[in-house]
Structure 1
């Protein structure tokens, strides 16, 4: 099959026009409209989202990288210490920043350790990380999930 330069130019122009017109043909998605965030029983989220609240009490503005290939979410935690409280000997106290870059406040959380995972790091040395459960909000989406502390 032979392609002429004119046909290639016309195809490129058509593709450009479709890319420019597509946003006008479809309504914008917004986290403020829960109906637009659902596809069946699943949520529609982007590659990058913002966590606006942790555990129903701490307002945050933290970037969240959505990785559908990861089995466990991770949370950037500081000053991780382990404690024994009551009948559960495995509790972890840690601090998180409410905004990235040090502009937010630092809050302290105390959570029971659900389990431990072994994570292979880029340096090749595996790490043993505690896993906690926390409730986060991404716009109107509220979900409780497990996080490894890193």
Structure 2
């Protein structure tokens, strides 16, 4: 036992491990499957339409039109009423459809953030109340401003404009519904 006389057992094992165990590269976690399809750098790839899965705490199943030509996002709202609360602040009370068939409505009340003057397709500007809401589209959570108006004649109950999309999305207008459930989750609260 020549080795035991000169080296302790622990030192011998350490030297043996250095000699026998080859240098291996560190193990890294594989990116989630299909992440390349839904994220480019720190931005998500949005199609011409995406599904809104949640507004504040309410689960939804509605489609949003992704429109980089609109400055302000817009939400379909019915029975819009502005009321002054006891503390003097103004609140907007309204109903929002939460399914694509637009029959199921939820009641919401949000503080009035401001009024926006919105240019319509007919050429006449409208004065609309603006509220702030949290939304989830697949893996993406964000808080954004919405003008409230009836969008009942439109195919999409929500329109996401540049106030929501900047620093969040890259738009591929040739495709739809690109956000996948297996994308990595992200929160964007400006």
TM-score (norm 2): 0.57
Matches within 5 A, 1:1-150: 36-55=37-56, 57-103=57-103, 105-150=104-149
Larger mean Cα displacement after TM superposition, 132-141 or 36-45: 36-45
CA distance in 2, matches of 1:74, 1:43: 20
**Is residue 34–residue 140 contact of structure 1 (8 Å, CA) maintained in 2?**
no
Q: CA deviation at 1:41?
A: 1.9
CA distance in 2, matches of 1:35, 1:145: 25
Q: CA deviation at 1:89?
A: 2.3
Q: Secondary structure of the equivalent of 2:46? A: coil
Q: In the alignment, which residue of structure 1 is the partner of 2:159?
A: none
Q: Secondary structure of the equivalent of 2:92? A: strand
Q: CA deviation at 1:33?
A: 5.7
CA distance in 1, matches of 2:34, 2:137: 12
State the superposition RMSD in angstroms. 2.1
Larger helix percent: 1
Larger mean Cα displacement after TM superposition, 87-96 or 75-84: 87-96
Unaligned runs of 5+ in 1: 1-29
Q: In the alignment, which residue of structure 1 is the partner of 2:161?
A: none
Q: CA deviation at 1:124?
A: 2.8
CA distance in 1, matches of 2:68, 2:102: 28
Question: With CA pairs under 8 Å and 6+ residues apart, which has the higher RCO, 1 or 2?
Answer: 2
- Count of matched residue pairs: 118
CA distance in 2, matches of 1:33, 1:74: 30
